[in-house]
Structures are given as structure tokens and as C-alpha cells.
Homo-oligomer: A and B are copies of this chain.
Amino acid sequence: MVVVLRGGVPQEKIEPLISWLKGKGLGVREFHGQEQCVLGLIGNTAGVDIEMLRSLDIVESVGAVSDPFKAANRKIHPEDTVVSTQGTGGGSLGGGHFALIAGPCSVENEAQITLVAQKVKEAGATFLRGGAFKPRTSPYDFQGLGEEGLRLLLEAKKATGLPIVTELMELRSLPLFEEIDVIQVGARNTQNYDMLKELGRVPNTILLKRGLAGTLKELLMSAEYIMASGNENVILCERGIRTYESDYSRNTLDLSAVPILKRLTHLPVVVDPSHGTGKAYMVEPMSLAAVAAGADGIMIEVHNNPAEALCDGPQSLTPEQFADTARKVFKVREALA
């Protein structure tokens, strides 16, 4: 339920209403917009007398939110969320702050990650991505450098100032992620509810990928799991879905997810055209398309030597290709500014 207050109501008149609502066992999200304050009520509102609420002089209107997602709902929180990673030394994302996230699929060694980090920074990247723990379909494939990979990413951050995005695969390694700016939840863990609840209790920003064949409602419900546990720094990521079309692409990148999610939620939405297509030659056109569709950021795999990458080489750009794509991305953003 959403309670929209009249413009100009002073905070001391709002507090008693909030206390009273909390006394009914409800969670209350207070949202101060430029002109008015909105209260989002989460939980069972059956015990609230709506007519009484409407009759209060500080209340302008009361509305229902029938969607199953509440904290993530734009109806409850109308303005764009701007996610900040300043606590861990990073930048902002969402609400006009565009993020260009780049880096290798896997961290392989110090020389590689440092080189790629510098190159992508020069080309305009604002975040460094890289995998330390890797989900692989086969138990016999390279599974990532693990803890050592995280250490190398933090070295690269020190060298370049770029905040880090990297994936958590299971809760037992969570303590190692303390200094990581953005913890990624991969497509195979989008509905790992225990992991989501736990990530609701950390101060890091969470980048939540859409499931391999996940609906947008499921993605929002998974964000809701994190937010309901207290962490509102959540970024949603479209990364391609599974369809019957597999001759020419690894996944079907669903760019309609961008306008749909931007309408349904206030959380920032980024697009991963590398995993979303699985082919380097499609990364540029789909990056430009994602930006034109309104994405708050894009995440691109860049490798100094794609042909010898330990993982996902066929979808990685070289630093030169990335720089070229980045230039065009900024042009499209300017054209639509």
C-alpha cells in the first residue's frame, strides 16, 4: 500500500503516523521526493483502516500495490535509486549516472588483470569486472583462482581506482568479499534464496543477474529478497535468456527488459551483451542498442588476448575493440541526452 502525503507537511507531523503504522506490524519505507513525501507500507495491511488514513489532513491519497514486489516497486519509491559504492571507495550508478563495467571473464594473473584494468579505464570504463570464483557447467573445467583472484582484483583497484564487480558463488566465501564494491549474483543463483537473504545483511552493493530462463517478475522478487533483509543497493542485470534460438547466439538478449524494468522498479538496470550473445562481433551493436533502450550501464568482457582466454574467449573484446565501442556508446548517450 502507498500513502502519498500532501506537499509541505513537516516531518514532525509525519513521525506519529509512521509510528502508528509500525505499531500495526508494518514495514514503512519513507520516500522524500522533491515535492512530497510518500510512505510505502510493506506487510499485511488488512488491519489498516484505509478510510481513516484518507481522512487525515496530511494525507493526499492512499493506493494499493497489487504487484508481489514491494520494496523494489516504483509505485512505492517513485524516483530512480542511485546506487553508491563510496563506502568501498567506488562511484555511483543509476539515476543518470551511467556505468561502463569492463574486464576479463576470469582473473588469470596479476599482469593480465592490471593490463586490462588500465586499458579499460583509459577507454572510459567506470567499474572493473573479473571472475575469481567461476560457475562452470563441467566439474572438469577451470573453476577460477578463488581467493587469490579477489586479491588481484583489489590490487588492480588500488592501481586504477576502479571499483570492483565480482561474483560470489556460495555463502561460505562471503567473508572474503568485504572490500568488494559490487557483489555479483550469477544467473544460476538468482533464486538461491538463502544467499539473497544473507546479501540483504551486507553493506556492499549487489548486482543481481536475471536467471538463465528467468522471468522479470522472478528477478524483481529476488531483488525483493535482498531488500526485505535490509540492503537496498541492488542493481538488476539483463544477461540474455534461454530460447529455442541457439544456432547463432548463446542466449537471446532481451533488451525489452530495459524499458519494462525501468517502468516497474526504481532500481538501476544494466545489460551484459557479452554473456547475452556469446559472440564478440555482436557485443558492439547490442551495447549501442542497450544504451539506446535506456540502460543505466553495460558490462562488457575485455581480454588482452581473447584467443587464449581460459574462459569465454569467443565473446571477449580486445582492449582496442572495447575503446572503439565505448566511443560509440558515449555518442549514442549524447545524441539522446
Contacts and interface: CB of A to CB of B under 8 A. Distances in A.
Interface of A: 42-43, 68, 70, 135-140, 169-172, 188-189, 191-195, 197, 211-218, 221, 224-225, 228-229, 241-249, 252-256, 258-260, 263-264, 276-277, 281-282, 285-286, 288-294, 328, 331-332, 334-336
A194 B212 contact: no
Contact of A255 (B242, B286, B335, B336): B286
Nearest to A251: B256
- Copies of this protein in the assembly total 4
A68 B141 CA distance: 10
B188 A169 contact: no
Contacts of A285: 258-259, 292-294
Contact of A256 (B195, B213, B260, B286): B286
Contacts of A334: 335
Contacts of A224: 138-139
Given A169-B193, A193-B135, A252-B252, A140 B213 contact: no
A233 to B, nearest CB: 17
Contacts of A42: 140
B248 A243 contact: no
A171 B169 contact: no
Contacts of A138: 68, 221, 224
Contacts of A289: 255, 258, 289-290, 292-293
Nearest to A218: B137
A135 B213 CA distance: 17
Contacts of A197: 139
Nearest to A263: B281
Given A289-B292, A292-B285, A248 B264 contact: yes
Contact of A228 (B139, B192, B293): B139
Nearest to A141: B68
A243 to B, nearest CB: 5
B293 A286 contact: yes
A262 to B, nearest CB: 8
Nearest to A188: B191
B192 A288 contact: no
A259 B233 CA distance: 34
Given A244-B246, A248-B264, A259-B281, A192 B193 contact: no
Given A212-B214, A260-B282, 12 more contacts: A43-B140, A137-B218, A169-B194, A170-B195, A211-B212, A213-B244, A255-B289, A256-B276, A256-B286, A259-B281, A292-B292, A332-B332
